[in-house]
Amino acid sequence: MTPRDSSNVARRRGSTPQVILLVAAGCLVPATLLGCNDAQSGALLGAGVGALAGQAIGGDTKGTVIGTAVGAGVGYVIGNESDKAKQQQRDRYDDYDY
């Protein structure tokens, strides 16, 4: 069986959503266990999703690498904004005396 044949078999079985979930879980579990902040977790998850998207769109290594880089960048930016919002929330409540 050639690599091309095996990719067709995977497509016919409908395993693409399962692979996406597996990669997403594989990216989130280490981030959670290592105590990463939202920016780091976002970059890790974005890289995984971007790699899958790049491979699906480009179908080659170059597409996968570009997808990984773009996904990591976008994930980092989104996670960083989440970290900033959480910090602003904490700063607001730190001003109160309890």
pLDDT digits (tens, 9 = 90+) for 41-68: 899 889 888 988 888 898 888 988 899 9
**3-state helix, strand and coil shares in percent for the chain, rounded to the nearest 5:** 85, 0, 15
Q: Which long-range CB contacts under 8 A does 47-54 form with residues at least 24 apart?
A: 47/71, 47/72, 47/75, 48/23, 48/24, 49/20, 49/23, 49/24, 49/75, 50/74, 50/75, 51/23, 52/19, 52/20, 52/23
Does the structure show a pLDDT above 80 at 98?
no
User: pLDDT band at residue 77, thresholds of 50, 70 and 90?
Assistant: very high
Mean pLDDT of the chain: 79
At 9-38, the pLDDT tens digits run: 445 455 666 666 677 677 666 666 677 889
Gap between the Cα atoms of 95 and 97, Å rounded: 7
Say which DSSP state 37 is in. -
